[in-house]
Amino acid sequence: MLADKSNLFVLAMALLVAALIPLGAYLDKQMRLPRSSDVLLASFPRSGSFWVRFMLAHAAVGDAVVVDFHNLEELFPDLEYGPNRKIYVGEDKPSAEQEGFMRLHKRVELPPIYKSHMPLIAGAEPPCFDSIGPGVEEFACQCPNCPPHFKRVIYLVRDGRDVMCSYYSFQKTLGHESANATFVEFLQSEVYPGVSWAKHASSYSDFPTPEVSAASGKSEADEQKAPEVLWLRYEDLHEDPLRELKRIMKFLGVRATEVVLKESVRKSGYEVMRETEEDGGLKLFDKHYSQRDPSFRVVRKGKVGSWRECFAKEGSPEEIDEEARKVFNAESFATMKKLGYLEDENWS
């Protein structure tokens, strides 16, 4: 009799454990999902996300602290950085500096905003190599760094030629092996975040909306509901940063005075940001890339049309290198045309 009871107990415990394991996995997954109030600032690298975050930071706390490249990371954490994801899901505690910013009175109360370079690919999950592409950390696409699950996304796009030229210089001075080549070879290489500039931008512009899903006969249960996306163009920010900052505030449902917004734009100008980087350094890059080239700068040129320095024919800066143009067009022309950057493949 005792043996029977013992066997029943063991069986009951086994059934309980079998039930709890999937429940635990489910709860862990739910805990990692972005909260409904969270906003994602997404872009391909070298598209201007530091600039946008500087303006938002000055709007929120510019009257209380001196915004720099260190506290900027505390205000708007980068979800591709593993320690930030651990803090998000409660596996680690925020730093004292982060907790201080959380308690800080904000003159403009922004929703939680997080930065990411992840493409918007439905169903992307670890290992990211399979679901997104090579060149990314295996768990970098794990929630909360999962764009399809955000309710609101600000997508910052920039002319792909300017992006790749800036990215080439960025990787080269950072000491990354992908830039130990010619510019044409760099255009053909696999770079972070695992997809090309064109595929990255297209992932946000082509993501199926609820209307498309309905037309195809798919329900929301069958198709991940598309987040609400605000498109920002780097070139529009250059043309009128105040106008674009107002668009962001409207999208976020936040009120801010004209005085605060103008001050935020002024304090986030190119020269100010360049000086801030020179004086205070960079939090993540100083920690993880201390051996980088002394000429490395996050705030590089900040111009529209600087792509010419990379696409120019050697020895003839006024002419476009035909091979570079051909390689770029093969991957990116369709997206450039769709986004209004190009009309003809023979651009110059």
Per-residue pLDDT band for 180 (boundaries 50, 70, 90) equals confident
Check whether domain 30-164+195-297 has CATH 3.40.50.300, yes or no: yes
Q: Which one of 38-47, 69-78, 221-230 scores highest in mean pLDDT?
A: 38-47
> Between 246 and 315, where is the model more confident?
246
Q: Which region, left, alpha or beta, applies to residue 223 given φ > 0 means left and ψ of -120 to 50 means alpha?
A: beta
Q: Are 61 and 75 in contact (CB under 8 A)?
A: yes
Could you tell me what percent of the chain has a pLDDT over 70? 82
Upstream peptide bond of 22 is cis (omega within 30 degrees of 0): no
| Beta strand spans in the chain (E) | 39-43, 113-116, 152-157, 228-233, 312-313, 316-320
Q: Rounded CA gap, 286 and 70, in Å? A: 10
Domain ranges of the chain: 30-164+195-297
The predicted structure's pLDDT at residue 102: 77
Q: Are 200 and 45 in contact (CB under 8 A)?
A: no
User: Which residue do the tokens 């862990």 mark?
Assistant: 28
Average pLDDT, the chain: 85
